[in-house]
Structure 1
Amino acid sequence: MSKDNNTDLIGKLWDLAPISIDLLAPTGEILRVNHHQAGKLGYQPAELEGDAWKSIYTMPSRETISQLFSENITESEPQVLQLRTRDRSLIEMAAHFSFVDDPTNGRCLMIAKIETAPVDQQVVQLSQDLDILKGIIQSSHHPSWCIEYPEPLDLSAPEDEIIRQFFDNRRHWRHCNTAMEKMYRLPMGESLNQHSVDEILGRNPANEEFVRELIKNDFNLEGGASYDQRYDGTAFYVENDVQSEVKNGYLLRMWGTVRDLSRQHRREQELLYRKSQVEAILNGIVDPVLVLSEDGLITGINAAVSQTFGWPSERLLGERIHQLAEAKDVSDYLLSELLASRPVSRMEFKIACRDGGILMTEASAGSYTSNLGRGYVLVLRPAQKPQLAAQRVS
């Protein structure tokens, strides 16, 4: 077939196409319009060819077209354009754009359009909404993910079997955003969606416990802890907020956000270490030591308290100092002095022992301040051996 015959065939297809097509020049001129579009607008093609865009396109549509001309692309996503008919009424059309090189006018824009029915408008709107949501999720600073199970989990199975399926059934990342890839230190240029879920959420005792929590909460969980693996080889604790899609008792997919708990975990370990150090120091002191809250609650004791007065720690912790003092007025005076920020030194303080005896001590106390508030440390040095109640009466 000759080149002229090809041109004639293309021209016939252009004119007979059951959709609206036009060709626009970057100068704002309509170069060509097919019969379908011209008829829709109430014109003959010759009436529009050579006219300006503004004769049929509304201002918002012309701005869209101008923006496309300014971008260095060959095609664009479908959009809705408004066209004006001969009688000035408006028609909305779903438009597809592609650029063609015209030997006379240079880079021109061909727009193929279909008049939008309500369903078509909804499809375009849904497509735009989806793009917006994708953009929001992808740009979020909060790591987010979605795991899909082509081989769904049978949630009616026993717990151990669900745990096995969770790790062994086929699964893949349906979505992971950029923040997720940064948290797991994925090599630059790679997509987490192309990697195996097992590389991050592998089977280990901590993650088995995580799945048990998911099962207890019907796979909708806030603050579920898991022990994950980064791509640089380091393991770390994370906290997951999880939601899921379950149909007919089968888990199809689950999604959520994740928070890095490694700093918090290290902080907890440091605090536990410091706590053990303080306990070791307190228990190494031969005199009884009590830690009090600002209102006189006993919040800590050392081993010498139980050894000297006979009271087990569980009987004293959470009680007021009044429970240990023989006379309430003396303990009230002690607290009033401490509240007034006056240090207490060598104050006589009688302690009621568990066996009914009374032990005279010399009390020394000072205050401390923490992020939980103010408190006091009370050191009781026995001044004599315990005196039994019968001896006091005699």
Structure 2
Amino acid sequence: MNLPVCNGYEILDRITDGFFAVDERWCFTYVNSEATRLLFRSREDLLGKNVWGEFPEAIDLTFYDHYQRAIREQTPVAFDAFFPPLNKWFDVRAYPSSTGLSVYFQDITNEKVAHSQKEQHYKSLFEQNPDAVFSFDLSGNYLTVNPAMERLLGYRVEEFLQQSFVPLVSEDDLEKTMIHYQKALTGTTQRYQTKAVHKNGSIVYVDVTNMPIIINQEVVGVYGVAKDITERYLEQDELRKTKERLESFVHNNADAIWVIDMDDKVLEINPTFESMFGWSADSVIGKKLPIIPDFLKDSIQTIHESVKSGSSFVGFETIRERRDGSHLHVSATLSPITDLTGEVIGLTGICRDVSARKKAEETLHAKTKQLESFIENNVDSILIMNLDRRVVHANKAFENTFGWAKEEILGVHLYDLPFIPHEEMVVIKQHEISVNQETPILGEETVRSRRDGVMLNVAFSKFPIYDADGNMDGWSVILRDITEWKKSQLILQNSEKLTVAGQLAAGIAHEIRNPITVIKGFVHLMSSGFGDKEEYFRIMSSECERIEQILSELLVLAKPQTIKLEPKDIRLIMLQTITLLHSQAILNNVEIVTEFDPGVVMLQCDENQMKQVFINFIKNAIEAMPSGGTIKIQIKQRENDIIVRIIDDGTGIPPEILSKMGQPFYTTKEKGTGLGFMVSKRIIENHSGTIHIESEWNKGTTLEINLPFTRIDAFSAEIQMQPEIS
């Protein structure tokens, strides 16, 4: 049914939408009341006017494009658009016809403002959210990401939108993440933790929530929210590791560990507790601690009450009881266990078996007592000095020997010790500078002074003292009074001289008898008036001089003399010695042959003592050849020393006897004392020399003496060497 036109316009005038109609030339043919209100124009101003002429601003707006398309395609269009001249949003629907275009429009400015505010709210929530917010399509490709997502993984928005989430998930968590993503696509919200890969390659631990995006009851993608939990995860991981380390510490600790509650009931023990005390965990947990001996229960109860009040007891030594009733010496530590509020909720105990240490301490104490007794009761004077060279201990022998009380010596510096003579102090200071401080000194002979001024000969020894870690802690000084020993050594040497002199007497008597016989013969001739008396006197005088020389050498040998070191020609000393032994060699059918290096060989020595040594060794060589033979005596000079060799071709020395040479009173001679070789060896050593013997049974013996010498570059006259003596 068709309504009259007037009625149609009346209806259009009453509708709440704005309405206008234009013909094919875009001229207004009708404008309703709402349209005039919305456009702020009257009908008279618009009817018959061109719409683009009246509203030229619309040509550059979406209105123009939509209206043209509707006329061109004869298709209705609907759109929202903003019209700047009126500062309004319009909801527009346009319907074309063959004669023009009918347009319905509404002012939706308020709705648009409200919607815009809502969008801004959501946008702000999206962009300002401290958590990473993102969305994926059905293939897992990023659709949107917020700034927090950029900060989380280090990529820019453009980089996210060009990839899926798969490369950004740690390989070992990818399968789990894909499963949760697939479940979200089925419409189920998922929450899980995974590891994401930062742009710099580091791992970021995240807590993720995936929610399906549903439009018209169809899932079209996935929303995601990710919270960075790296710090929390690392803290939890460290807490877990700490817990594991603590459990490992308790379980594998070499000390016994237990935990008891406030009622003294055992909550936990470790394996060492079981092995140390013999109780199993099942037999102990939930019961009173069974390791306290009866006689200590009252005291331990007092200690437990103190620990429950917050105190700790560290490393106190006590006794604990094993299941078999035996007791252990232990070092125990008791500490309170508190909750997060600081309230004590239990006790923990750590027990270390120190029985072995206690035994070692007792042994050490006993050894210390023994050492103290050894030092205190030693007959030698002993001083202990610290690294500052101050005396920290002196024994009784020191007091008795030198006369100073230990109280007077303790704390005194080495350089201030009163028993060291001034001239010896100079030597000590030089020695301290030049010698390595840790080098021991063994038996060095020197002198020290008693309090009354008497000088004592002492054997001085110094040893470093080390602590338990092997670090030098001081010095031990031993002073042995050898004054009487030195006297006895001198007596021993003189006694040996007299013994040698007595043994030489027979040979010397034979040597003297020959010139006396000559003298007696010439005296008889002279009394008879026969011959040339002047010639007789010359011969008699010569023989008397020979007797005088022999007796002089014998007296020098036998007479005690003060030791005096002087530069001497060792060859001359040897020749003078051979003179004494010449007659004894003849009597035993022994030839003495000398091989001396040319030149002056000066030795810093005591001439008398060196003769005593040579006499002893040559006489031994003569006696080793009862059937006669040859003794070869060599003197050779090397760079820094002199070698004296006495070589015989006698019976030799068996190995079992050779090893005992030098022992006091050991001798193979029927009338020997066994002191000759010992005294001779001591003399050589006092001259800083050495003796070495090589012998082969039935082939002979070679005795080698090594002596340091004093080099003489010039000498006023060469000593006239005597020819070989045979």
Could you tell me the TM-score, scaled by structure 1's length?
A: 0.51
Q: Is 2:168–2:197's contact at 8 Å kept on the other side of the alignment? A: yes
CA displacement 1:262-318 (0-9 Å, x = unmatched) = 2233334434554555556556653302245677676765441232345666887xx
Q: 1:136: which partner in 2?
A: 125
With over 3 angstroms needed to count, the CA separation of the structure-2 counterparts of 1:364 and 1:252, relative to structure 1, is same
Q: Are the structure 2 counterparts of residues 199 and 127 from structure 1 closer, same or farther at C-alpha, using a change threshold of 3 Å?
A: farther
Structure with the higher fraction of residues in helix conformation: 2
Of 269, 272, 283, the match for 1:304: 272
How many angstroms apart in 2 are the aligned matches of 1:330 and 1:268?
Answer: 42
Q: How many Å separate the matches in 2 of 1:213 and 1:310?
A: 53
**For residues 36 and 340 of structure 1, do their structure 2 counterparts lie closer, same or farther at Cα, with a shift above 3 Å needed?**
closer
Does residue 183 of structure 2 align to residue 198 of structure 1? no
SS at match of 1:305: helix
Structure 2: runs of 5 or more not aligned: 1-21, 47-59, 63-78, 92-104, 356-726
Post-superposition shift, 1:141?
Answer: 1.1
Partner of 1:380: 351
1:256 pairs with 2:224: yes
Superposition map of 1:266-285 within 5 A: 266-275=234-243, 277-278=245-246, 282=250, 285=253
CA–CA separation in structure 2 for the residues paired with 1:243 and 1:320: 51
Contact 1:330 / 1:349 at 8 angstroms: preserved in 2? no
Q: Distance in 2 between matches of 1:252 and 1:13?
A: 43
For the structure 1 residues 329 and 136, does the alpha-carbon distance in structure 2 shift closer, same or farther, using more than 3 Å as the test?
farther
How far residue 184 of structure 1 moved from its aligned partner, in angstroms, is: 0.7
- Cα pair 2:134 2:224 within 8 Å, conserved: yes
Kindly state the Cα deviation for residue 336 of structure 1 after the two structures are TM-superposed. 2.4
What's the offset of the Cα at 1:182?
1.0
- Matching of residue 145 in structure 1 with residue 134 in structure 2: yes
Structure 1 CA distance, aligned partners of 2:38 and 2:214?
48
Aligned residue number for residue 82 of structure 2: 97
Matched, 1:290 2:258: yes
Match runs of 1:28-39 below 5 Å: 37-38=35-36
State the identity %: 15
Contact 1:348–1:360 under 8 Å retained in 2 = yes
Aligned in 2, Cα 1:109/1:311: closer, same or farther, shift over 3 Å?
farther
> Kindly tell me: are residues 197 and 212 of structure 1, through their superposed partners in 2, closer, same or farther at Cα, counting changes over 3 Å?
closer
Supply the AA of the counterpart residue of 2:200: D
**Aligned amino acid, residue 132 of structure 2:** P
Question: In 2, are the aligned partners of 1:181 and 1:191 still within 8 Å (CA)?
Answer: no
- 1:147–1:15 distance in 2 versus 1, CA, 3 Å: same
- Residue by residue, what CA displacement relative to the aligned partner does 1:189-241 show, whole Å, maximum 9, x if unpaired? 63523432222236x3323234557789984344x111211122222221113
Q: Could you tell me how far apart the structure 2 residues matched to 1:17 and 1:347 are?
A: 114
Name the amino acid aligned to 1:377.
T
Aligned position for 1:179: 148
3-state SS of 1:225 partner = strand
From the CA coordinates, give the structure whose radius of gyration is larger: 2
Distance 1:132 1:383, change over 3 A: closer
CA distance in 2: counterparts of 1:45 and 1:230, whole angstroms: 66
Residues 363-378 of structure 1: matches in 2 within 5 Å?
363-367=332-336, 371=340, 373=342, 374=344, 376-378=347-349
What letter is aligned with 1:135? S
Distance 2:177 2:208 in 1: 9
Distance 1:284 1:320 in 2: 22
**Offset, 1:364:** 3.4
Q: Is contact 1:286–1:304 with CA below 8 Å preserved after alignment?
A: yes
Contact 1:173–1:193 (CA under 8 A) maintained in structure 2: yes
The one of 191, 209, 216 aligned to 2:176: 209
For 2:339 and 2:305, the matched residues in 1 are separated by 20
| Aligned mates of 1:183, 1:292 — CA distance in 2 | 47
Distance 1:142-1:278 versus aligned 2 partners, 3 A rule: same
Q: Structure 1, residues 87-122: CA drift from partner, whole Å, max 9, x if none?
A: xxxxxxx974355xxxxxxxx66756345499x987
Quick one: distance in 2 between partners of 1:75 and 1:179? 37
Matches of 1:14 and 1:295 in 2, distance apart?
102
Distance 1:348 1:13 in 2: 115
- 1:101-112 paired onto structure 2 within 5 Å: 111=88
1:237 to 193, 199, 205: 205
What's the CA shift for 1:365?
Answer: 0.6
C-alpha separation between the residues in 2 aligned to 1:246 and 1:311? 66
For residues 124 and 349 of structure 1, the distance between their equivalents in structure 2, rounded to whole angstroms, comes to 85
Secondary structure of 1:146's aligned partner: strand
Aligned partners of 2:89 and 2:112 also within 8 Å: no
CA distance in 2, matches of 1:379, 1:36: 94
Judging changes above 3 Å, is the alpha-carbon distance between structure 1 residues 321 and 378 closer, same or farther for their aligned structure 2 residues? farther
1:336 equivalent among 287, 305, 308? 305
The answer as to whether partners of 1:244 and 1:253 remain within 8 angstroms in 2 is yes
Report if the CA contact (8 A) 1:347-1:364 is conserved.
Answer: no
Query: Is this contact kept in 1: 2:307–2:336, CA < 8 A?
Result: yes
TM-aligned CA deviation for residue 183 of structure 1: 0.4
Cα pair 2:265 2:289 within 8 Å, conserved: no
Report the CA distance between 1:343 and its aligned residue. Answer: 3.5
1:182 partner amino acid: R
SS at match of 1:322: coil
Change (3 A) 1:127 1:42: closer
Alignment partners' CA distance in 1, 2:350 and 2:250: 10
State how many pairs are aligned.
280
Report if the CA contact (8 A) 1:290-1:301 is conserved.
yes
In 2, Cα distance between equivalents of 1:212 and 1:358: 63
C-alpha contact 2:334 2:348 (8 A) present in aligned 1: yes
Native 8 Å contact 1:292 1:299 kept in 2? yes
The corresponding residue for 1:103 is none
Q: What is the CA-CA distance between 1:46 and the residue it aligns to? A: 7.0
Distance in 2 (CA, whole Å) between partners of 1:300 and 1:270 is 24
Which amino acid in 1 is paired with 2:90? Answer: K
* CA distance in structure 1 between the partners assigned to 2:352 and 2:116 by the alignment: 78
Answer 1 or 2: which has greater strand percent. Answer: 1
Whole-Å separation in 1 of the counterparts to 2:281 and 2:122: 57
For 1:287 and 1:138, locate their aligned partners in 2 and report how far apart those are by CA, in whole Å. Answer: 58
Deviations 1:36-55 (A, max 9, x none): 7326689616789xxxxxxx
SS of the residue aligned with 1:37? helix
1:327-365 Cα offsets, whole Å, 9 max, x none, are 9999876542211234344566667x6xxx567565531
